[in-house]
């Protein structure tokens, strides 16, 4: 069923905006540099946030997956 949906989907050809491409191609070097900087500014924060979230989740996961130090063969007494 999922394969049918993937093959039946309309190709996403609208990613290359003609106006953006024309403006970038006709602009000078300062505009091209500003466009590159803007792309980096838009990409870096979500990437760092994703890496940070993965790091925090891995750390929390390792805290919960540590084996207990309780030995089932020993009996618990209130004086311990």
Reading the chain (80 residues) residue by residue, the pLDDT tens digits are 666 666 665 655 555 677 777 877 788 888 888 888 988 999 999 999 999 999 999 988 877 766 656 555 656 666 55
The C-alpha atoms of residue 16 and residue 9 are separated, in whole angstroms, by: 18
Tokens representing 35 are 């466009």
Q: Where do the structural domains in the chain lie, given as residue ranges?
A: 23-65
pTM, two decimals, is: 0.48
CA 23, chain centre distance (Å): 30
The C-alpha atoms of residue 44 and residue 50 are separated, in whole angstroms, by: 10
**Residues 40-50 pLDDT 10s:** 999 999 999 99
């Amino acid at each position: 069923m999922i394969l049918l949906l993937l093959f039946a989907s309309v190709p996403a050809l609208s990613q290359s905006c003609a106006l953006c491409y024309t403006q970038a191609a006709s602009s000078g070097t300062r505009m091209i540099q500003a466009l590159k900087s803007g792309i980096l500014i838009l990409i870096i924060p979500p990437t760092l946030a994703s890496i940070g979230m993965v790091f925090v989740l891995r750390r929390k996961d390792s805290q919960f997956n540590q084996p207990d130090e309780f030995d089932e063969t020993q009996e618990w007494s209130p004086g311990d």
